Amino acid sequence: MNQENIFVEQFQSPVGALQISTSSDKLISVLFIESKTKPMIAAEITTNNPAIMQQTILQLQEYFEGKRKIFDMPIEMNGTDFQKTVWQELLNIPFGKTISYAEQSKRMKNEKAIRAIASTNGKNQINIIIPCHRVIGSDGSLTGYGGDLWVKKWLLQHEEKFSSAAERQSLF
């Protein structure tokens, strides 16, 4: 992808600043920004952003307000075929539910690849939207998360708060 075709905005969320990158028609990444080194500004939907940027910002706002449970913007996963398969499986975990890394490897019919799958989850560049935060340890512990464990905990509690009792049941 040509560098001139990448659009970048910052979005202030309840879990800190996020950097959103898009092409002219697909979401490329949603990354956590260290608040100590980057300015924390709220993104505004403006007409000079491509529609996909506007759509992503709006859907993230709705998610954090508890009004959105499913994201539906077009995304571009940049990685190996294996990584794309792992990240695609994450999209199958419903809002407000969690699975273990072991369960994820079983779903992928590749139980011996649990470490590779967990490592790949950690390389997810489209945080929150590709919900790697919904994968937890087999014992229910919160393990590994690129945005820090307090963010993972916050996101899971946020989803629990806005999901129905039926949605809150774990998948494993």
CATH 3.90.45.10 fits 81-168, yes or no: no
User: pLDDT band at residue 127, thresholds of 50, 70 and 90?
Assistant: very high
Q: What is the pTM of this model?
A: 0.85
* Per-residue pLDDT at 67 exceeds 50: yes
Question: Per-domain residue ranges for the chain?
Answer: 3-64, 81-168
What is the rounded average pLDDT for all residues in the chain?
87
Indicate which residue of 27, 86, 132, 135 is catalytic.
132
158 in Cβ contact with 66 (< 8 Å): yes
- What pLDDT is stored for residue 38 in this prediction? 42
Degrees, nearest 5: CA angle 56-152-119:
90
130 is catalytic: no
Q: Which of 116, 54, 112 is nearest to 87 (CA)?
A: 116
- Encode pLDDT of 79-111 as tens digits: 999 999 999 999 999 999 999 999 999 999 999
User: pLDDT band at residue 11, thresholds of 50, 70 and 90?
Assistant: very high
- What pLDDT is stored for residue 169 in this prediction? 54
The burial class, CB within 10 Å (0-12 / 13-18 / 19+), for 52 is buried
